[in-house]
Amino acid sequence: MSSDQHASEGTTEQRTEGYAEVYRRSVQDPAGFWLDAARAVDWVREPTVALDESAAPLYRWFPDGRLNTCYNALDRHVEAGHGERTALIYDSAVLGVRESFSYARLLEEVALFAGALAALGVGKGDRVLVYLPMIPQAAVAMLACARLGAVHSVVFGGFAPRELASRIDDSRPVVVVTTTGGVEPKRRIEYLPAIEEALRIAQHEPAAVVVHEREGFETTVEDARGRAGRDGQPAVDWHTWAEALEGAEPAAPAPVAATDPLYVLYTSGTTGTPKGVVRDNGGHAVALTWSMRNIYDVGPGEVMWTASDVGWVVGHSYIVYGPLLAGATTVLYEGKPVGTPDAGAFWQRVEEHRVKVLFTAPTALRAIRRADPEGELVRRHDIGSLRTLFVAGERLDPETYGWASDVLGVPVVDHWWQTETGWAICANPFGIERLPLKAGSPSVPVPGYRVEILDPLGQPLGPGEEGNIALRLPLPPGTLTTLWGDDRRYVDSYLSAFPGYYATGDSGYVDEDGYVYVMGRTDDVINVSGHRLSTGAMEQVLASHPAVAECAVIGVADPLKGQRPAGYVVLKAGVDVPEDRLRAELVALVRERIGAVADFKDVAVVEGLPKTRSGKILRKTMRQMADGEQYTVPSTIEDSSVLDALQEVLRPPRVR
């Protein structure tokens, strides 16, 4: 059977059904539903059992199945005669470099690097820490680990040494794979000094470090080799990428149990002991293969571009694994939404690579909208190949949703998921049925997910009532199976607040049509004089003002009311409006739409909002600054100068 047939097998029947029927089958007969979906994956031993519940609430999918994820992503497409199809397009806007990799070429490079890792002592179950920017070697290293049955742990390029060290000590890698540095629009980031410092700090010492050499960086592999390691002893073995490949033999794909771990991904911004989300091989392959066809409507030979980073879960799922499992073409973009060179960078890539589906973060859209509010740069490019824009990472405010819909002329689909789930919890399933879109909502629960809204005591709430968003157990395939090395912490962190449920940590509601609205983290629900109010709802109001490009609302401590909301807005490019008038209009708007109970009086115009590199606004850090608390600037921050500029604005509140 060809890989194209495999990619669509199990979905033909679903395509003749509507969403309601597919969803009903997924929750009434999850075992049958997911065993059927598993037929789209190539197995060494096909599973006969869908779910192992023997250790509940720790569940395992396809316990008797065996497979290899790399084989499913590469080999089977080549064996089916599709080796010349483009698998990956590397597009570096910062370097002006482009390179295409066919499935056959990518397989050759992955198999050879897997052999190099094996020669360095990496085997089934061993960990490899990958510290790379958006370059092809990142995808090659991840797939090579999967080929060996090893477990990769990708750390976002540019993380601070202590963050690196904590992940080294937790995952205990045999090998670290890195490069000499990363390239940003206005600077270069040296990686090797951070690696060296992390190795000095960490208790665990890997056997080797493999370095892909890039031009234009000060620290080289020879420099690292020449320095003594801890206690004056020689450091770990350092190898260039080219040296590691010398004499290496291509490695064959190693069969692993479906329940064996594929990767560990540490949640961003962790402090203390890092929290490593574990993804298995079998459930992950089945879920992502199913999602490519049924959520994104992307099939073999079609182009999907996920404008994210391999260091984040979105990059794992839909830059590397999802598109390749589907036999599609993926785009690996080293650049920014604005500034490389302008706010038309995305639309240029859509035109040149004939992108069918673009997936990005709301924060990227807001940056583009701020620089190009009328969408003039969109009209300079032929984006006729684009069928859908998918958005995730932060709540998509209705104003940005409306702007993107208008200037692009294609459906804009907000969907909601987490690092822990690995794929969408809620989405508009365009491969099954194109449901009506609602601004502010990521649409409906994806088949397999049972979403409920609970009050603080765990009791279900009715339509329109905001509460804790929880997912009834067991979670579907592809979601986290545990935390690395710590089942108890997994249960305590996610499964203990509401027994029988996974607590998402998000607050929201479900409307009368079954559409889910995610309003923000539960700690972003503030208590103003005894009234529980959503800062997300207030942000939605502020974003509706025609002068506002993006905004954040936080709850700051108030000696009289407990908490009070404070808003921070960034204006669109070219907007010239007196700040006093704008503040008055924004306060009046919140009073009109939320009510006087919100006590919304404080709003400031700022140049920018502090964000992680994945686009999440650092509301917790802002709140700590405003309350005069101790805070640590997260290593995931995109630009720390933005936070520095907010120091004066985010001063402890005055008593009124």
Q: Write the pLDDT tens digit of every residue in 358-399.
A: 999 988 998 999 999 999 999 999 999 999 999 998 778 888
What mean pLDDT value characterizes the chain? 91
> Residue length, the chain?
656
Per-residue exposure over 320-358, b if at least 16 CB sit within 10 Å of its own CB, e if not: bbbbbbbbbbbbbbbbbbbbbeebbbbbbbbbebebbbb
Q: Is residue 285 part of a domain?
A: no
The answer to the question of residue 157 being in a domain is yes
Q: Assign 617 a pLDDT band (cuts: 50, 70, 90).
A: confident
| 522 within a domain of the structure (yes/no) | no
Q: Which tens digit of pLDDT belongs to each residue from 427-478?
A: 999 999 999 999 999 999 999 999 999 998 999 999 999 999 999 999 999 9
- Residue 271 binned pLDDT confidence (cut-offs 50, 70, 90): very low
Query: 436 CB contacts (<8 Å, ≥6 apart)?
Result: none
Mean pLDDT of 240-263: 97
Tokens representing residue 198 in the block? 């992390």
Among candidate residues 213, 231, 257, the one where a domain is terminated: 257
Give the Cα separation of 419 and 156 in Å (integer). Answer: 14
* Domain end residue (candidates: 230, 257, 284): 257
CB crowding 264-296: b at 16 or more within 10 Å, else e: bbbbbbbeeebbbbbbbbbbbbbbbbbbbbbbb
List the CATH number of the domain containing 548. Answer: 3.30.300.30
pTM for the full predicted model:
0.84
Angstrom distance (rounded) from CA 389 to CA 296: 10
Cα dihedral across residues 448, 454, 459, 460: positive or negative: negative
Instruction: Flag whether 488 is in a domain.
Output: no
In this prediction, residue 3 carries a pLDDT of: 52
Beta bridge partners of 427: 444
Domain-embedded: residue 246: yes
Q: What are phi and psi of 206, to 5 degrees?
A: -65, 160
Average pLDDT over residues 497-505: 96
Angle between the 362-371 and 398-408 helix axes, to the nearest 10 degrees?
Answer: 70
Q: What is the pLDDT, as a whole number, of residue 235? A: 66
On whether the CB atoms of residues 330 and 305 are closer than 8 A, the answer is: yes
**Residue 580 falls within a domain, yes or no?**
yes
pLDDT in tens, 28-59: 999 999 999 999 999 999 999 999 999 999 99
How many other CB atoms sit within 10 Å of the CB of residue 134? 23
Amino acid occupying residue 5: Q
Distance CA 210, CA 228 (A): 17
Q: Evaluate whether residue 395 is within a structural domain.
A: no
**Model confidence pLDDT, tens digit, residues 106-158:** 999 999 999 999 999 999 999 999 999 999 999 999 999 999 999 999 998 86
Buried-exposed string 620-653: b where 16+ CB fall within 10 A, e elsewhere: ebbbbbbbeeeeeebbbbbeeebbeebeeebeeb
User: Is residue 210's pLDDT more than 50?
Assistant: yes
The helix (run of H) or strand (run of E) holding residue 35 is helix 30-37
190 located within any domain: yes
pLDDT number for residue 14: 41
Residue 187's pLDDT is 87
**Which of 231, 257, 283 represents a domain boundary (last residue)?**
257
Total number of domains in the chain: 2
Which pLDDT does position 12 carry in this prediction?
Answer: 38
| Region of poorest pLDDT, from 89-98, 520-529, 631-640 | 520-529
Q: What is the CATH number of the domain that holds 202?
A: 3.40.50.980
pLDDT at 64 over 70: yes
Domain assignment of residue 540, given as a range:
529-645
- Report strand pairing: 127-131 vs 151-154: parallel
At 458 the pLDDT is: 95
